[in-house]
Each structure stands twice: as structure tokens, then as C-alpha cells.
Amino acid sequence: MALKSSLVVHRGVALMMCESSAILEETLLAVDTSELHVQRLSDRALAMPAHQIEIVRRALEGRGIYPKIVGADLALEIEELEDDGDLAVAGDEEST
């Protein structure tokens, strides 16, 4: 029997899953999280505003951990791809 519940959709929230609970804990202790709105969901998962997730992601990648992230700010990712030249912007291509 299905539970009766309402669907709740949050905008601007990102979910991060880390493969190592110990490294996630060490990273959160090393990063200044006083200005971040981090909510621990489990020993390996956290939720936070999407625009703040980059701080924790970069700190983890500095330790060789590449977390799975859902809900990160797509606009920032597109901007980075455009800056790197990895994304062709419509209208920028020359027609031959």
C-alpha cells in the first residue's frame, strides 16, 4: 500500500554523496562552514544551497574524492564550459 504524502520540490538545493564518510567528515572540519548552510543527511550525504556546493566539492576534489552531486547550479556549469571553449554557443559558429 502506497503512503499518502505530498510531493515537495525544492529549488536551488543540491545533494552531495561522498564515497567516504571519513573524508567527508575531515573535509567539513577543514573547510570554514560557518557561512554555509549545510544539512547532513547521513554519514556520506549532505544537502545545501546549490550555489554553495562548489566550496565543499573543490575541497573534496583536492583530497582526490569526486562526489556525486545532484541539483548543482546548471548555469554555472554552462558558463564554465563556455569559458573553456568546450561548449559551442548558438550563433557563434560560422556558416560555410
pLDDT of residue 10: 72
Query: Is residue 46 situated within a structural domain?
Result: yes
67: nearest Cα among 58, 76, 77, 75:
58
Sheet-wide strand order for 39-40: 39-40, 45-49, 13-17, 68-70
- Residue range of the domain that includes 49: 13-84
Q: Looking at the whole model, is its pTM more than 0.95?
A: no
27: nearest Cα among 52, 62, 69:
62
For residue 57, the domain's CATH number is 3.30.70
Query: Is residue 89 situated within a structural domain?
Result: no
Query: Is residue 60 situated within a structural domain?
Result: yes
Mean per-residue pLDDT of the chain: 81
Query: Is residue 55 situated within a structural domain?
Result: yes
Over range 56-63, report the average pLDDT: 94
Q: In sequence order, which residues have a C-beta less than 8 Å from that of residue 46 and are 6 or more positions away?
A: 15, 16, 24, 28, 38, 39, 40, 56
In one-letter notation, the amino acid at residue 88 is A
Domain count, the chain: 1
Handedness of CA 54, 60, 65, 70 (dihedral sign): negative
Query: Is residue 72 situated within a structural domain?
Result: yes
Query: Is residue 28 situated within a structural domain?
Result: yes
Percent of the chain residues topping a pLDDT of 70: 72
Residue 17 has pLDDT above 60, yes or no: yes
User: In which band, very low, low, confident or very high, does the pLDDT at 91 lie, cut at 50, 70 and 90?
Assistant: very low
Query: Is residue 94 situated within a structural domain?
Result: no
Residue 48 has pLDDT above 50, yes or no: yes
Query: Is residue 95 situated within a structural domain?
Result: no
8 Å CB contact between 85 and 27 = no
Residue 68 has pLDDT above 60, yes or no: yes
